[in-house]
Amino acid sequence: MTRRIDAISGLRALAALGILVFHAAAMTNFTMTGGVPGTLTARLDVAVSIFFALSGLLLFRPWAREILLNGPRPAVRGYLWRRALRILPAYWITVVVAMTLLAESAGYTVRQWIEMLLLVHVYDPSPGWPNGGLGPTALGQMWSLAVEAAFYLALPLLAWAARRFIRSATTDSRAVRLLAALGGLGAASFVYAIFMHVPERVFWIQFLLPHYLVFFALGMAVATLLTWAEADTPGGLRARAARDTAGSAAGTLLVTAAVAYWVLTTPVAGRFGDPFTGLRDEELRLVLHTLITLLVVLPVACQPAGATGLNRVLGSGPMRFLGQVSFGIFLWQFVVMEAVFRVTGLPYFGGNFLTVLGLSLPGTVALAAATYYLVERPILGRPAEPREPAAPPEPVMKKQEISVRPPRRPRQPERQRDTAHQDALDGIRALAALAVLVYHVGGKTGLTEGWGAWAVSRGDVGVAIFFTLSGLLLYRPWARAALDAGNGPDTTAYLWRRAFRILPAYWLVAVIAMIFFNSGHNASQWVWAKWLLLLQIYDVGSWWGGTEGRGLEQMWSLAVEVAFYLALPLIAAALAMLAGTSAAIGTRARSLLAGVGALGVISVIWTVVAHQPGMPPEFNMLLPRYLLWFGAGMALAIGSAWAANDERARAFCAAVARRPSLSWAVAALAFAAGSTPLTGPMHLGALPATEGTTKAVLWAVVGLFLVAPSAFSTGRRGLTHLVFGNPVVRYLGRISYGIFLWQFVVIYGYYELTGNELAFGGGFATVLAVAAAGTLALAALTHHLIEQPFHQLGRAVTTDAAPVTRSVSR
């Protein structure tokens, strides 16, 4: 442990020196005129992010031990007192020197003195400072210390909230939930960045804690990993392996950080020196700063004890010394730099970078050393850092006593049946996603000729198939509970899993679409909230037929799906009450089917009303309009659960599964009938009630009969598995959510690259080929990098058991 702390002290030294170089380059205009070297210095403010992450790592670790390992709870009063003694005395000396010896001619008001001494100057939007609101002369860098102080105050509250969130019996479950909570904390920075720019950029609020929470959360996550690695649990072994891998791969991670830093120096994160960069630039800057900070801090924190290359460099005597005086380097750099400019007469922003840096560096280090030995160390006493007591040795466990893999649970017969469904249902989902993609390309390119055009224009049947699958897969546990007179799924866990399943990937796509394709509409906080929270179907008039929400047009169906997620526990409870507690399973099953039939009748009536002249467009996008399609899947769920307990029902379901071609033929006939003027004109348009209702009923038939053979299948053989369960189609099904999400972003991106400002037209085959290739590639990346990790995280967060099973739901 000693070597690890030494390495962290060395990293703190590098961060402090990086900030000094950054300020010297900015004050001499070297960042603008220094060519490639100047460009490389222009983004060294990333060192502030590293400082914040180190604070999160070192300060949160005692709380991580308490939460994960049941260690002693840190005393909040003692912690705050130590933090105050650590930073305030040396800081106050610097403030007094700067605000007296280097004061402006008019001096400073009492209010300004109080704000600076209490580190609250960042909360005053109009303090009248000479350098744009960052502080008095020679104290412009203190905004980051104010952010740090805010984190010190917030940390005990964050730790308390974490304890409340992750109540669980096992260390592994607590660790997973803690990491999930920290992920949410980090995401707050990206959301806060939106409100920094909407409706217009507000300069001063970028210096508040929420903007930088992602870096503190990153350090806290590393502290969680290191603490988890000390646990003698299956997850602890995996954490230990991850820690050791990060430590041994330090070279690779640091080279990757260097590449990311090079990207940061390009215009991708906005023009350096522009305080009013756009939202897109700000979000990209946050992403790159987060990535660089992670790639730098993680391998340093995970270094093993011993003379590794990184330890020899960062843990050397000079680096340890500079790390000890790093707080003074941070405090004094502008004071010394201001003195250099005044004594030498060199002009501000007039070049002479090497001269200013060469004079400022030794003066800053000298004052920092004097402050450390005369103020910091006497007040705190000789610090334990970098000599921290070694952690207890990791016990050697026998293989029979602990395994890296969680113990397997005995499988139940019904679970085996559900697993057999999975592959074929994935394939059906792939068909639905591709049908929707073809439908949208046809609409965008104006395909109108031939029966093929009619079939393309009816690709919206994929939405009905999606809703049928959701009704089947999500209601099935409740149906089984109603027929077995047992308890249904835990509603809170179910909703958390749904949120983890759909929101992270959706938010990524939504933010990209809003930034790149909706710059003329994202100046309103309501617009952002509406699209991020999937509330757009309740405010259709603002975007339907207009230019708002470009790249997100298809998300109305996801909003309907979310409404179904929220309503399903209530619907399931009502159906369970309707089924009652009759001893006959068949009676209960028929009652459930009758209830689902009633939902279908409500849906048909709603559809008729929604298509009446003068009805608001929202009526066509609300959940009741689509209960018929969800109900088709719920009916299949009831049949599947019924078959598990009744011989006659089992025989019927088996017959349907054995002859899938018959069901598919009915679905094909219904689709063929729907691909005619019987269901209205090609593509979207206002439909009379008769045509709209006919289409709704026919699409319900397609969904019901297309899905039924797979829903009732009990094995991985036969035509159903051959068509929908083969590896290619199955993989497309697994990434189908990404196919659904990305398709319009890719289509609009293609139109922008080709100069098509109308975002309409083009050859159907060409646009389809581009859209399919781009969408599939992005969908695969999203599935593996975002959906899968968050889906598994959601299951781990909502259960005390370590095993994670793959979901077959969208």
What CA–CA distance (Å, rounded) separates 520 from 529? 16
What CA–CA distance (Å, rounded) separates 284 from 631? 43
One domain for residues 571 and 658: yes
Q: How far is CA 407 from the centre of its chain?
A: 30
Cis peptide before 386 (omega within 30 of 0): yes
| 8-state DSSP, 489 | -
What CA–CA distance (Å, rounded) separates 740 from 736? 6
Could you tell me the two tokens for 720? 């159903």
CA distances in angstroms from 53 to 40, 50, 85, 221, listed in the order given:
22, 5, 21, 9
What CA–CA distance (Å, rounded) separates 111 from 117? 10
Could you tell me the two tokens for 707? 């899905």
CA max distance for the chain: 98
Position 119: which residue type?
L
In a domain, 207, yes or no: yes
Tokens 């008769």 locate to: 690
What CA–CA distance (Å, rounded) separates 22 from 33? 14
Regions of the chain with pLDDT less than 50: 1-4, 383-421, 801-810
**What secondary structure, in 3-state letters, does 189-233 show?**
HHHHHHHHHCCCCCCHHHHCHHHHHHHHHHHHHHHHHHHHCCCCC
User: Is the separation of the CB atoms in 49 and 336 below 8 Å?
Assistant: no
One domain for residues 295 and 433: no
Cα R_g (the chain), whole angstroms: 31
Q: Which of 359, 380, 401 is at the close of a domain?
A: 380
User: 516-556, pLDDT tens digit by residue?
Assistant: 888 777 667 788 888 999 999 888 777 766 778 889 999 99
Q: Which of 63, 112, 740 is nearest to 429 (CA)?
A: 740
What CA–CA distance (Å, rounded) separates 71 from 81? 21
What CA–CA distance (Å, rounded) separates 263 from 637? 50
What CA–CA distance (Å, rounded) separates 494 from 472? 15
One domain for residues 418 and 374: no
| 8-state DSSP, 485 | T
In a domain, 713, yes or no: yes
Q: Which of 502, 532, 538 is nearest to 514 (CA)?
A: 532
Count of C-beta atoms within a 10 Å radius of residue 720: 29
In a domain, 715, yes or no: yes
Q: Which of 221, 234, 242 is nearest to 67 (CA)?
A: 221
Q: How far is CA 581 from the centre of its chain?
A: 43
What CA–CA distance (Å, rounded) separates 381 from 665? 83
One domain for residues 154 and 297: yes
In a domain, 517, yes or no: no
In a domain, 714, yes or no: yes
CA distances in angstroms from 300 to 7, 72, 224, 228, listed in the order given:
6, 26, 15, 17
Structural domain count of the chain: 2
Position 65: which residue type?
R
72 contact partners, CB below 8 Å, separation of at least 6? 65, 66
789 contact partners, CB below 8 Å, separation of at least 6? none
- Please tell me the number of Cα atoms within 13 Å of 663 on its side-chain side: 24
User: 171-181, pLDDT tens digit by residue?
Assistant: 998 999 899 88
| 8-state DSSP, 606 | H
In a domain, 693, yes or no: yes
What CA–CA distance (Å, rounded) separates 330 from 336? 11
Q: Which of 356, 380, 404 is at the close of a domain?
A: 380
Tokens 């005395």 locate to: 89
Q: Which of 210, 264, 218, 353 is nearest to 42 (CA)?
A: 264
215 contact partners, CB below 8 Å, separation of at least 6? 49, 50, 52, 53, 56, 189, 289, 290, 293
H helical segments located in 644-761: 647-658, 660-674, 689-712, 719-724, 727-734, 736-753
Could you tell me the two tokens for 799? 């259960």
In a domain, 625, yes or no: yes
One domain for residues 331 and 453: no
Domain residues for the domain of 174 are 2-380
CA distances in angstroms from 614 to 183, 365, 618, 805, listed in the order given:
46, 75, 12, 48
Helices first, then strands: H and E counts in the chain: 33, 0
803 contact partners, CB below 8 Å, separation of at least 6? 406, 408, 409
In a domain, 385, yes or no: no
Predicted TM-score (pTM) of this structure: 0.70
One domain for residues 135 and 261: yes
One domain for residues 355 and 465: no
Mapping DSSP to helix (H, G, I), strand (E, B) and coil, where does residue 763 land?
coil
What CA–CA distance (Å, rounded) separates 242 from 186? 21
What CA–CA distance (Å, rounded) separates 712 from 25? 69
Q: Which of 330, 363, 380 is at the close of a domain?
A: 380
What CA–CA distance (Å, rounded) separates 468 from 654? 20
One domain for residues 473 and 595: yes
One domain for residues 630 and 676: yes
What CA–CA distance (Å, rounded) separates 540 from 720? 39
One domain for residues 677 and 773: yes
Q: What integer pLDDT is reported at residue 117 of this predicted model?
A: 93
Tell me the DSSP string of 504-550. HHHHHHHHHHHHHH-TTTTT-HHHHHHHHTT-GGGSGGGTTTSSTTT
One domain for residues 285 and 418: no
User: Is the separation of the CB atoms in 60 and 300 below 8 Å?
Assistant: no
Q: What integer pLDDT is reported at residue 788 of this predicted model?
A: 87
One domain for residues 376 and 460: no
